[in-house]
Structure formats: structure tokens, C-alpha cells
């Protein structure tokens, strides 16, 4: 547990920033390298103001640049690989998602071998486990049950391939003769301040007279607060550096959730924003089975038009299933092996996220006022 250093990829993103904020408080951490393709000026300012003795180095580089990755990994003890394209709506081309999420992970693993980085922690996703059907009910899924996504959609497929590559790399020999040890964390749907998807949902509602559009009325999920997911990464880095704990963790994956109540995505959005005066859409819902067949038809239209026109359906079967299934997990394995307990309670998470949503509402009012002047 003597002096060590850590590289975090995707460090300028929603989760990456929170990991950096917690990491710099760790004992004996000499340097954090924050890697992203580009940092927003606001993020650079946030990192420069961190109250820490740890050196924070911001690196702007491409996850597909093998030479850059080798340089970034030099003299690093732990890599936390967060960088990924998260797209469940199919907007991003499949090739781009597979390139960043799979090839980027493979290149980073190779860079770690060349630079003799002994610990690699991967941010995976519950999407690699499911849900596979809106008719199937999965509650409190455990790691030993081996749930696996059967979707060919690029996001779950890419995360599944990348996770397998990371766990397979556990035990491989490093250039200096040492051994690499890996693990993967599978958080459920991550909410909290700065979530881009949550931001779009709230901004859409603010433009719609405060009515939240239904995105998952039929679901039961156990969302997790971003601060708790970041905390799980810190605990994984501690455990893999601890010779007593490490043997149980090496090559393992862990579900990450917290005490956020199991609820539909619609109810989550409402519970986070009701203090701001937002309300749920009370209009009648189209039956889920009918929506599923409509999604199938839209996918067929998209496929048939592909040679002459790139038609992107507003939703597909994967997104519909993801948003409207009963699929929850338990984090007991992480509690036992990593010593994981949520750092933030549901009430704290709700309050912090609600305050951020209030700031979005104030910005929206300011924009409307400017337009009417």
C-alpha cells in the first residue's frame, strides 16, 4: 500500500469526474492521470481546484491511439477504464461503438502489458446481463446466475466483448515478468447530477409544460447513484492492491447498486424532479406488445431502406425492452469481496440530483425570459 499512481480513462465524463474527485482523497496516491479525448473548460477548472496533495495530470488523447496509451500507462499502478460510447438508442454508427468500446479496451490492455501495469479495473454495465425480454422477470440477480445479454445491438454487444477481454486478461504476464490482475464492475442505470440522458429528459419536460414524457412506465429497475458507483471503483482499487483481499477479486465481475428503491424509470424521474413541479404524463399508454411489434416493423423499414437512405427509427426492440422490463440485481458479492457499502443514501442522492434539476429549471426560465424580452 506504499506510493502508487492511477490512470482513469473517460475522466471528463459523468462517472469519470466523480471517480477522480474521490480518488485524490486516497492515501499514498502520488499521481492521478485523467485521460479523455477532450476536456471541457469547466472540467479543467474543476480538476484544478481539487483540494489535494496528489498530482492531477490531464491528458487529452484518443483511446484508439496505441502509442499514446503506452505513454499514458508508463509508471502507473492502477488503470480504471471508464471511457466508452454509451448509446442504447442507435444514433451512433455500430462501427464507431465497437471501435471505441472493444478495440479501445484491447489497445489499453496491450498498453498495460507493455508498461507493466499490474491492476486493471473495467467499468462494465448491467446491460451485458440483460434484460433479454420484457416478458421475463429477473429480480435480485446474482453474479453466479450467469445472466447474459443475447442482443446484437452494438452497446450491450460491445460491453460484453470488452468485459470478456478484460477478465480473460487476468493472470497474463507483464513485460517486467509480473502479473496483471483485473476485475469488472457492472453498475445498473446510473443517475445523478450531470447525467446527459437525465438532462435531456428533464429539459424535454421543461419544454413540455413540466410534463415528463414516459420512457419506462412498465419497468422495475434498481438505479444507482453516480457517487456510489464511483465509490465502488475506489474500493475495487483498494482491494486489488491488498494482498489479502486480491485473490478473491481477480478475474471477477460485480454488480453495483445501492439503496435507491426499486421503481420504474418513469417514477425515478418523477421522484427526482417533483420538488421542481414536474409531473408524470397521465395520458393512456399504448400496450407494450403493440409497441414491440411496431418497433420490429420500424427496424425492417430501416433495414430495407439502408441501401438508399439511412432511416433511424425513433425506438427499437432493444431500447423498448431495456426501458420496460423487470430486471434488478443484488450487490451482495461486492459487499462481501470489496467491502462495498453505499457512500450516499437514497435521500442524499435524491436531494443532490433534485438540486441539479432545479438549476436546469432555473436555466430554462432564464432562457424563456431572454426570448420574451
Active site residues: 159
In whole angstroms, give the CA distance from residue 71 to residue 358.
42
Cα dihedral sign, 70-229-341-219: negative
The Cα–Cα gap between 152 and 106 comes to 20
In this structure, are residues 244 and 313 in contact, taking their beta carbons and an 8 Å threshold? no
d(CA 13, CA 339): 26
Give CA–CA dist 124/52, Å, rounded: 28
The answer for residues whose C-beta is within 8 angstroms of residue 259's C-beta and 6 or more apart is: 342, 345, 346
Q: Compute the distance between CA of residue 166 and CA of residue 250 in angstroms, rounded to an integer.
A: 11
- Residues 32 and 5 sit within 8 Å (Cβ to Cβ): yes
* CA end-to-end distance (rounded Å), the chain: 60
For β-strands 279-280 and 211-212, DSSP reports them as parallel
Q: What is the DSSP letter of 274?
A: G
Q: Which helix (H) or strand (E) holds 370?
A: helix 346-372
Q: Are 188 and 126 in contact (CB under 8 A)?
A: yes
C-beta neighbour count of 105 within 10 angstroms: 26
The Cα 173–Cα 370 span in angstroms is 61
- For residue 224, the cross-strand partners are 190
Residue with cell 482523497: 25
Amino acid at each position: 500500500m506504499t506510493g502508487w499512481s492511477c490512470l482513469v480513462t473517460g475522466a471528463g465524463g459523468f462517472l469519470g469526474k466523480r471517480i477522480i474527485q474521490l480518488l485524490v482523497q486516497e492515501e499514498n496516491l502520488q499521481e492521478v492521470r485523467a485521460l479523455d479525448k477532450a476536456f471541457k473548460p469547466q472540467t479543467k477548472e474543476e480538476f484544478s481546484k481539487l483540494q489535494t496533495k496528489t498530482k492531477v495530470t490531464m491528458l487529452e488523447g484518443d483511446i484508439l491511439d496505441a502509442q499514446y496509451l503506452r505513454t499514458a500507462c508508463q509508471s502507473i499502478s492502477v488503470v480504471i477504464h471508464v471511457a466508452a460510447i454509451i448509446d442504447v438508442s442507435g444514433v451512433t454508427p455500430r462501427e464507431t461503438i465497437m471501435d471505441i468500446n472493444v478495440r479501445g479496451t484491447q489497445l489499453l490492455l496491450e498498453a498495460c502489458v507493455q508498461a507493466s501495469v499490474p491492476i486493471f479495473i473495467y467499468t462494465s454495465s448491467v446491460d451485458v446481463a440483460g434484460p433479454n425480454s420484457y416478458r421475463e422477470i429477473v429480480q435480485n440477480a446474482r453474479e453466479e446466475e450467469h445472466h447474459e445479454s443475447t442482443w446484437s445491438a452494438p452497446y450491450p454487444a460491445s460491453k460484453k466483448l470488452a468485459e470478456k477481454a478484460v477478465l480473460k486478461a487476468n493472470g497474463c504476464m507483464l513485460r517486467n515478468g509480473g502479473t496483471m490482475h483485473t476485475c469488472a464492475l457492472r453498475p445498473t442505470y446510473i443517475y445523478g447530477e450531470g447525467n446527459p440522458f437525465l438532462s435531456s429528459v428533464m429539459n424535454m419536460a421543461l419544454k413540455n409544460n413540466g410534463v415528463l414524457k414516459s420512457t419506462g412506465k412498465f419497468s422495475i429497475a434498481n438505479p444507482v447513484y453516480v457517487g456510489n458507483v464511483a465509490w465502488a471503483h475506489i474500493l475495487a482499487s483498494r482491494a486489488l492492491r491488498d494482498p489479502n483481499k486480491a485473490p478473491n477479486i481477480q478475474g471477477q465481475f460485480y454488480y453495483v447498486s445501492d439503496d435507491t428503491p426499486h421503481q420504474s424509470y418513469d417514477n425515478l424521474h418523477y421522484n427526482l424532479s417533483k420538488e421542481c413541479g414536474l409531473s408524470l404524463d397521465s395520458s393512456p399508454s399504448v400496450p407494450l406488445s403493440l409497441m414491440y411489434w411496431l418497433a420490429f416493423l420500424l427496424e425492417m423499414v430501416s433495414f430495407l431502406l439502408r441501401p438508399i437512405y439511412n432511416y433511424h427509427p425513433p425506438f427499437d426492440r432493444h431500447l423498448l425492452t431495456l426501458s420496460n422490463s423487470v430486471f434488478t440485481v443484488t450487490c451482495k458479492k461486492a459487499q462481501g469481496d470489496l467491502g462495498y457499502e453505499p457512500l450516499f443514501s437514497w435521500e442524499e442522492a435524491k436531494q443532490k440530483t433534485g438540486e441539479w434539476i432545479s438549476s436546469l429549471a432555473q436555466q430554462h426560465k432564464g432562457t424563456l425570459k431572454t426570448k420574451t424580452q
